Amino acid sequence: MSNSPSALKEWAALQTHVEALRDVHMRDLFRDDKNRFHNFHFEMDGLIFDFSRHRATIETIKLLGSLAKACDIEGWRTKMFMGEKINVTEDRAVLHPALRGSCSPSLTIDGENVAEFVNKTLAQMESISKKIRSDKKITDVVNIGIGGSDLGARIVYETLYNFQDGPRVHFLSNVDGARISGILKHLKPDSTIFITTSKTFTTMETMTNAETAKQWAGSAKNFYAVTSNIHAAKKFGVPEDHILPMRDWIGGRVSLWSAAGLPVAIAVGFDNFKKLLSGAKAMDDHFLHAPMVSNIPVMMAMLGVWYRNFWDWNAHVVLPYAHNLRKFPAFIQQLDMESNGKSISRDGEMIDYKTAPALFGETGTNAQHAFMQMLHQGVDILPVDFIIVKEPGHELEDHHKKLNANALAQAQALMQGREKAPAAAYKTFEGNRPSSTLVLDRLDPWHLGLLLALYEHKMFVQGIIWNINSFDQWGVELGKTLANEILGADTAESTDQTTLALMRRLHE
Ligand code: F6P
Per-residue pLDDT of the chain (508 residues; tens, 9 = 90+): 578 999 999 999 999 999 999 999 999 999 999 999 999 999 999 999 999 999 999 999 999 999 999 999 999 999 999 999 999 999 999 999 999 999 999 999 999 999 999 999 999 999 999 999 999 999 999 999 999 999 999 999 999 999 999 999 999 999 999 999 999 999 999 999 999 999 999 999 999 999 999 999 999 999 999 999 999 999 999 999 999 999 999 999 999 999 999 999 999 999 999 999 999 999 999 999 999 889 999 999 999 999 999 999 999 999 999 999 999 999 999 999 999 999 999 999 999 999 999 999 999 999 999 999 999 999 999 999 999 999 999 999 999 999 999 999 999 999 999 988 888 999 999 999 999 999 999 999 999 999 999 999 999 999 999 999 999 999 999 999 899 888 887 777 778 999 999 999 998 8
The preferred substitution site among 150, 473, 481 for testing ligand 1, maximizing ligand atoms within 8 Å of CB, is 473
What is the Cα–Cα distance from 119 to 99, expressed in whole angstroms? 9
Q: Using CA of residue 308, residue 311, residue 315, residue 319, what is the dihedral sign?
A: negative
Strand order from edge to edge, sheet including 358-361: 41-44, 47-50, 435-440, 384-389, 315-321, 358-361
Q: Whose CA is nearest to atom 9 of ligand 1?
A: 147
Q: How far is CA 261 from CA 102, 194, 274, 487, in A?
A: 18, 14, 11, 32
How many A from CA of 146 to the centre of ligand 1?
A: 6
How many A from CA of 359 to the centre of ligand 1?
A: 19
Q: Are 198 and 207 in contact (CB under 8 A)?
A: yes
Q: Are 438 and 49 in contact (CB under 8 A)?
A: yes
Q: Are 320 and 361 in contact (CB under 8 A)?
A: yes
Q: Are 152 and 332 in contact (CB under 8 A)?
A: no
What is the Cα–Cα distance from 392 to 145, expressed in whole angstroms? 31
How many A from CA of 88 to the centre of ligand 1?
A: 18
Catalytic residues: 338, 369, 480
Kindly give the number of the ligand 1 atom that is closest to the alpha carbon of 200. Answer: 15
Q: Whose CA is nearest to atom 13 of ligand 1?
A: 198
Q: Whose CA is nearest to atom 14 of ligand 1?
A: 198
How many A from CA of 204 to the centre of ligand 1?
A: 10
How many A from CA of 150 to the centre of ligand 1?
A: 9
Q: Whose CA is nearest to atom 5 of ligand 1?
A: 147
How many A from CA of 95 to the centre of ligand 1?
A: 17
Kindly give the number of the ligand 1 atom that is closest to the alpha carbon of 252. Answer: 8
Q: Whose CA is nearest to atom 6 of ligand 1?
A: 252
Residues 6+ apart with CB under 8 A from 314: 308, 354, 357, 358, 380
Ligand 1 pocket (Cβ < 6 Å) reads 146-149, 198-200, 203, 206, 252-253, 338, 473, 476
pTM: 0.97
Residue 421: DSSP 8-state: P
Residue 391: DSSP 8-state: S
* DSSP E strands, 126-176: 140-144, 168-172
**HSE-CB of 199 using CA atoms within 13 angstroms:** 17
Residue 422: DSSP 8-state: P
The preferred substitution site among 143, 144, 200 for testing ligand 1, maximizing ligand atoms within 8 Å of CB, is 200
Q: Are 412 and 330 in contact (CB under 8 A)?
A: no
